[in-house]
Amino acid sequence: MADRADRKLDHIRLCTAADVTPVCYPPARTTLLECVELLPEGFPVVSVDDVETSTVFLGYTVAAPIFVSAMTGGPSRAGELNRSLARVCQKMRLPLALGSGRPMLDDETLASSYDVRPEAPDIPVLANIGMAQASMLPVDRLSWLVERTRADALVVHLNFAMEAVQPEGDRDPGPVVETLTRLVGELGHPVVVKEVGGGFTRGQIEAIASTGVDWIDVAGAGGTSWVRIEGLRGSLNDRRMASTFSCWGIPTAAALGWAERSGLSNVLASGGLRSGLDVARSLAMGARLAGMALPVIRAMDSGGEESLERLLGSVIRELRLAVHLCGKRSTAEMADVPTLLLEPLRTWLAD
């Protein structure tokens, strides 16, 4: 148990102090969102300040299609972080995804570190668990996780590369499609499936969609590399393996393109999103909301809640400007903006 708590603190320390993006020679892996050119068809129709950003997610009206991606829970610092994230998300009316609930499933005294409802009574809150645990645990333990955290959905994260490089990782994720199908049928709460910075291929997206899950978050490559983080934590051997595989994964824009071509409508974008323009490009690629993790934890580390509020405020302002420049009235209309896909994204998405 202590190991797991230490691991979460290691993760937070490395994310705030080290370069944890993928390094490949050549070229560095990016989200490929930079290959998505937005093509305004007309001229601005409303002033930047009047751009409508609100959207509905999991039954709540939120202020913008932006969420804080899954990060923390467990050790005491993670609990404080969760409460801070919750206060900022509540103030800004944005959804908050909690970090993996595995520590509280192992030790129920840690549940209070996920208890953000006093701070965040009326925004969507998402509980989180890894695929390996989801496949091993009975459904009522997973329902308990959602209900104890008073969350609105359960996010199941798939992180095969990370687990394989993590010295104490779960090498066997269990049967992915069967587990998701069982959860969809029996959990009694919406199910979201995400990666952790490795994205999904078209085949994987279609397999996940066939289980009937409510949302897919592509969480693609180009942002935080969990393979790299585990390499930084591990022995020389782990480091070698992590450096070999640090560019494993599907760039966020490619995964979004495949999800859109598969006809999915409940798609979330994350993995390397760093600006409101990235969010705008993700919406044009079919995402309904977009999430960020690393910039959030770094903002909290550098200046606490105020700094996070500033970061999210500027991402929303950038998003508004992108919508305005695309000649649209609302973020919802960004789905209709024509895009020009540049290389190498074009090749990724070629049939």
Ligand X SMILES: Cc1cc2nc3c(=O)[nH]c(=O)nc-3n(C[C@H](O)[C@H](O)[C@H](O)COP(=O)(O)O)c2cc1C
Residues forming the site for ligand X (CB under 6 A): 11-12, 15, 69-71, 99-100, 128, 157, 194, 196-197, 219, 223-224, 270-273, 292-294, 297
| Shortest spacing between CB 95 and ligand X, in angstroms | 13
Residue nearest to ligand X (CB): 223
Q: Which is nearer to ligand X, 197 or 286 (CB)?
A: 197
| Shortest spacing between CB 166 and ligand X, in angstroms | 12
For residues 305 and 81, the answer to whether their CB atoms sit within 8 Å is no
Backbone angles phi, psi at 166, to 5 degrees: -65, 125
Q: Which is nearer to ligand X, 112 or 275 (CB)?
A: 275
| Shortest spacing between CB 234 and ligand X, in angstroms | 17
- Distance (Å, rounded) from C-alpha 322 to C-alpha 118? 35
Q: One-letter amino acid identity for 341?
A: L
- Please state at what angle helix 294-325 crosses helix 2-17, rounded to 10 degrees: 50
Tally Cβ neighbours within 10 Å of residue 335: 15
Q: Which is nearer to ligand X, 55 or 69 (CB)?
A: 69
Residue with the two structure tokens 């190991």: 3
| End-to-end C-alpha distance for the chain, whole angstroms | 46
Q: Which is nearer to ligand X, 294 or 334 (CB)?
A: 294
Q: Which is nearer to ligand X, 275 or 330 (CB)?
A: 275
Q: Which is nearer to ligand X, 187 or 273 (CB)?
A: 273
Closest CA to 195 of 229, 218, 211: 218
| Shortest spacing between CB 3 and ligand X, in angstroms | 15
Closest CA to 130 of 161, 152, 84, 96: 161
Q: One-letter amino acid identity for 58?
A: L
Residue 69 DSSP code: P
Give SS3 for 237.
Answer: helix
Residue with the two structure tokens 């972080």: 81
Q: Which is nearer to ligand X, 62 or 326 (CB)?
A: 62
| Shortest spacing between CB 121 and ligand X, in angstroms | 23
| Shortest spacing between CB 257 and ligand X, in angstroms | 18
Q: One-letter amino acid identity for 90?
A: Q
| Shortest spacing between CB 294 and ligand X, in angstroms | 3
